Structure 1
């Protein structure tokens, strides 16, 4: 991808909801505001999610039927907190996802208002 194409793609992500995974197993979900050459990312209206401690999802602790999906995958409730504006350092980022679900949801609510 050439430089101008990369810039255009990043510009198309401005204002969209991103899910950023970090090396310490946290997940940040917020609105993409900007980035820099060091891959640092600034998100606004951000929520931070943490996976439960290992002991919280051992099989002995998952006795309710609704803790398992049809495929046998264990569902775990993540703890979260609102942190607002945040800079996620680029060297801690392991994965970035575009949260298309919230984009569709926002698009549907805007279409209903029109």
Structure 2
């Protein structure tokens, strides 16, 4: 399950600090302006809203070149051999990932922050 962190912005200074302390060592997913997503353990932040994550994986959308390659492998070169249902078929590829370790995500590029929680971790 996921919880959107937007509620933290509406809190006062003390409540905000306590909210951030409650997130320490928890799993976060951070989406950025360049369509990347970082998934890691929250370690700290600063007044500029930069966020430090440990044990971080970066996820990216596949490049247009890779999408074109995948589309080419699903379609034969002879147009007469293509079934009509494949002509309008969309190609879907999974996001690529890589392990980064310790990262600083610049606050100015953060679009969304989500807290990763499993049902077993949530309070009733």
Question: Quick check: TM above 0.5?
Answer: yes
One of 41, 54, 57 as aligned partner of 1:31: 41
Higher relative contact order (CA 8 A, sep 6+): 2
Q: 1:94 aligns with which of 107, 111, 115?
A: 111
User: 1:85 Cα shift?
Assistant: 0.2
- Alignment of 1:52 onto 2:62: yes
Give the TM-score, by structure 1 length: 0.71
2:7 equivalent to 1:7: no
The structure with more radius of gyration: 2
How high is the TM-score relative to the length of structure 2?
A: 0.66
- Counterpart in the other structure of 1:17: 27
Alpha-carbon distance between aligned partners in 2 of 1:77 and 1:53, rounded to the nearest angstrom:
11
Question: 1:69 — aligned with what?
Answer: none
Between the aligned partners of 2:35 and 2:20, the Cα distance in structure 1 is 25
User: Moved runs in structure 1, 4+ residues, more than 6 A?
Assistant: none
User: What's the RMSD between the two structures over aligned residues?
Assistant: 2.6
Using the TM superposition, give the Cα deviation of residue 90 of structure 1 relative to its aligned residue in structure 2, in angstroms: 0.4
Instruction: Give the Å deviation of 1:76.
Output: 3.6
Unmatched 5+ stretches in structure 1: 64-73, 108-114
State the partner residue of 2:100.
83
How many positions carry a matched residue from both structures?
95
